[in-house]
Amino acid sequence: MPYIAIIIIAGAVAVDQLIKLWVINSIDVGRYITAIDGVLNISHIRNFGAAFSILQNRQIFLILITIAALIIAAIVLFKNIGKYSPIVRVGLSLIIGGGIGNLIDRIRLGYVVDYIDVRFVDYPVFNFADCCVVIGAILLVAGVIASELSKNRGK
């Protein structure tokens, strides 16, 4: 059972790092490629902070917080993996994979490479690892809510 979580984590990290490598090698910093005119650009942005560029230039703090969060998430996931629903396991796995992807950037580069630039709304540029964390969090919350509703129906 834990091997599926490990595959999801490794897959998320691999996809994230491969896309970032392509962006670094293909697009100059601050430049972009139009993917869908008026909808989506693939940009090359260096984010020296966290989500929405908060905590700018606090790399050591962000690295330590990320490591702590990843350790806690891994303990929660792997200590009682059979106890959780598949949706919770996938959610936690995506959160861990996305966290590791951005942690690799912070340690290796000193910043996170962001590149998904949605043009039809005013939104910060983000990356695949961020998507994994957000989707993972949504799945985690949905799984916990579904579990609680299921428990309450049985009473």
pLDDT class of 11 with cuts at 50, 70, 90: very high
Q: Catalytic residue, from 16, 105, 117, 130: name it.
A: 130
Show me where the domains of the chain are located.
Answer: 2-145
| AA letter at 83 | K
Q: Catalytic residue, from 105, 114, 117, 122: name it.
A: 114
Q: Is the per-residue pLDDT at 108 higher than 80?
A: yes
Residue 16 is among the residues annotated as catalytic for this protein: no
Long-range contacts of residues 62-70, Cβ cutoff 8 Å, at least 24 apart: 62/106, 63/103, 63/106, 63/107, 66/99, 66/102, 66/103, 66/106, 67/103, 69/99, 70/96, 70/99, 70/100, 70/103
pTM above 0.85, yes or no: yes
Q: Is the per-residue pLDDT at 155 higher than 70?
A: no
Instruction: Read off the pLDDT of residues 60-97 as tens digits, 9 standing for 90 and up.
Output: 899 999 999 999 999 999 998 888 899 999 999 999 99
Long-range contacts of residues 144-147, Cβ cutoff 8 Å, at least 24 apart: 144/88, 146/85, 146/87, 147/85, 147/88
Residue 114 is among the residues annotated as catalytic for this protein: yes
Residue 26 tokens read as 């293909």
pLDDT class of 32 with cuts at 50, 70, 90: very high
